[in-house]
């Protein structure tokens, strides 16, 4: 990464009016061979991530692992403390009275899975990220309101300031803006 000279701009971003326009543009850009791009919308648009060949998310796997760690860890903690570390006879019950350990195991499974889901989602999204070049675009604050944006990044192999601008103009956007670093 460092060997390459840094491109003068972050990329070019086109603004669209509706979700259909954005979806169509994303599909066309992908068909045209652009890969390093991202679409921005004020609410989730069905099929948008898929149009960029993004299908598999690792969030479910992370959640599953979190749940397994929480559940197994919880049960192990109870079993270990009740039978090995601090065995104590309560009303003549066996030391490993596993049915009594289930509620805590269940709660910790949910806790582990939920925390993993949230932190996993944030980490995979590289959030928190207080600064992003797109925030330099004045119009971009509409992305959280009613406008839809497609950004083709300068890192893309096919990116060319002139040709890409012409391509984006051809998608009939509201406007095309340069994104400074």
Partner 1 sequence: MSEERKRMSSGRTDEPTPVVAPGYTYSSVSEKISAIVLTRRTPRFWWIAFVTAFLFFLLLQVAIAYLLYKGVGIWGINIPVAWGFAIVNFVWWIGIGHAGTLISAFLLLMRQEWRTSINRFAEAMTLFAVACAGMFPLLHLGRPWVFYWLFPYPDTMRLWPQWRSPLVWDVFAVSTYATVSFLFWYVGLIPDLGSMRDRARKRFVRAFYGFLAMGWRGAARHWHRYKIAYLLLAGLATPLVVSVHSVVSFDFTIAIVPGWHSTIFPPYFVAGAIFSGFAMVMSLAIPIRKIYGVEDFITMRHLDNMAKILLVTGLMVGYGYLMEIFTAWYSGSEFERFMSYNRTFGPYAPVFWTVIACNVLSPQFFWFKRMRRNIPVLFAVSIVVNIGMWLERFMIVVVSLHRDFMPSAWGMYYPTFWDLATLFGSVGLFLTLMFLFIRVLPMISITEMRELVGEKEEKAAETPAGRER
Rounded-to-integer distance, Cα 66 and Cα 58, Å: 12
3-state SS track over 91-131: CCCCCCCHHHHHHHHHHHHHHHHHHHHHHHHHHHCCCCCCC
Q: For residues 68 and 111, which CB has a smaller minimum distance to partner 1 in the complex? A: 111
Q: For residues 30 and 158, which CB has a smaller minimum distance to partner 1 in the complex? A: 30
**CB-based contact 15:143 (threshold 8 Å):** no
Instruction: Tell me how far, at minimum, the Cβ of 162 lies from partner 1, in Å.
Output: 26
Q: For residues 7 and 42, which CB has a smaller minimum distance to partner 1 in the complex? A: 42
Instruction: Tell me how far, at minimum, the Cβ of 98 lies from partner 1, in Å.
Output: 10
Binding interface with partner 1 (CB under 8 A) = 19, 26, 38-45, 48-49, 51-52, 54, 57, 59-60, 63, 67, 77-78, 81-82, 85-86, 90, 93, 97, 100-101, 103-104, 106-108, 110-111, 113-115, 117-118, 120-122, 124-125, 127-132, 134-135, 140-146
Could you give the 3-state DSSP secondary structure of residue 38? strand
Q: For residues 84 and 163, which CB has a smaller minimum distance to partner 1 in the complex? A: 84
Rounded-to-integer distance, Cα 153 and Cα 10, Å: 6
């Amino acid at each position: 990464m460092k060997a390459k000279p840094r491109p003068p701009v972050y990329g070019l971003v086109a603004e669209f009016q509706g979700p259909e326009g954005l979806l169509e543009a994303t599909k066309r850009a992908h068909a045209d061979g652009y890969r390093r791009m991202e679409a921005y919308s004020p609410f989730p648009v069905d099929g948008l991530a898929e149009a960029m060949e993004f299908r598999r998310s690792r969030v479910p796997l992370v959640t599953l692992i979190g749940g397994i760690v929480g559940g197994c860890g919880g049960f192990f903690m109870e079993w270990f403390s009740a039978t090995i570390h601090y065995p104590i006879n309560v009303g003549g019950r066996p030391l490993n009275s596993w049915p009594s350990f289930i509620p805590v195991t269940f709660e910790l499974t949910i806790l582990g899975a939920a925390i993993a889901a949230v932190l996993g989602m944030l980490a995979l999204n590289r959030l928190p990220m207080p600064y992003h070049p797109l925030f330099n675009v004045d119009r971009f604050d509409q992305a959280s309101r009613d406008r839809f944006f497609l950004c083709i990044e300068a890192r893309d192999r096919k990116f060319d300031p002139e040709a890409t601008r012409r391509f984006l103009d051809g998608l009939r956007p509201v406007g095309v803006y340069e994104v400074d670093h």
